[in-house]
Structure 1
Amino acid sequence: MTYSRLGTTKLIVDHTDVPEALQGQGVGMMLAERMISDARAEGLRVIALCPFVKAQAQRHPDWADVIE
């Protein structure tokens, strides 16, 4: 997962990639869930430019407190 910080309050997530050998094992979702957890712990808002994270955010309304 690649991301950059926007100031002190926002995180821009722009790409999530899982090696082919690990695809289909939920690794991408583990990365996304950890990013959400870390953002909450740090009080950050997330701008999801990554199509995977954006799609998962639509499926997880409980992420609404973090995702912009």
Structure 2
Amino acid sequence: MADVSLTVTDVPSRRRYEARDAGAGGADGTVAGFAEYMLAGEMVVFTHTEVDPSYEGKGVGSALVRASLDDVRSRGMVVLPLCPFYKGWIQRHPEYTDLVYQRPPSTATD
């Protein structure tokens, strides 16, 4: 990823985090990838991640997931990783499993 200088930011109006290549043309940089989400109370539901084909294999997806999860942690929220990329990434990085929503135990009695 040495040739890519990424900035990851939350873009609430588009309900997604964007990874922008600051080294690419334009004042804001080129969108190298994004992660779409929905908000449900204090939960961020990650639904889809996409990396521009010209940035594949350069660590954009990992940088996007790490930065977005760090942001969610700083806000005191939890995540529900419906996106397979997020789910797999979290499984490979156990230091983030505490962010994953855990359903409360059932209190129903028979």
Task: Please say whether Structure 1 and Structure 2 have the same fold, judged by a TM-score greater than 0.5.
Answer: yes
Q: Per-residue CA shift, 1:15-50, capped at 9, x if unaligned?
A: 110000000000000100011100100001000000
Match of 1:18 in 2: 51
Work out the CA distance in 2 between the residues paired with 1:55 and 1:65.
Answer: 15
- Pairwise mapping of residues 1-68 of structure 1 onto structure 2 (< 5 A)? 1-7=35-41, 9-68=42-101
Work out the CA distance in 2 between the residues paired with 1:31 and 1:67.
Answer: 17
Q: CA RMSD in A?
A: 0.7
Task: Look up the equivalent residue of 1:54 and give its one-letter code.
Answer: K
Work out the CA distance in 2 between the residues paired with 1:67 and 1:23.
Answer: 26
Percent sequence identity over matched residues?
A: 36
Name the structure with the higher helix share.
Answer: 1
Q: Match of 1:39, SS?
A: helix
| Number of equivalenced pairs | 67
Unaligned stretches of 5+ residues in structure 1: none
Work out the CA distance in 2 between the residues paired with 1:3 and 1:32.
Answer: 12
TM score, norm. by length of structure 2? 0.59
Name the structure with the higher strand share.
Answer: 2
Q: Give the structure with higher Rg (CA).
A: 2
TM score, norm. by length of structure 1? 0.94
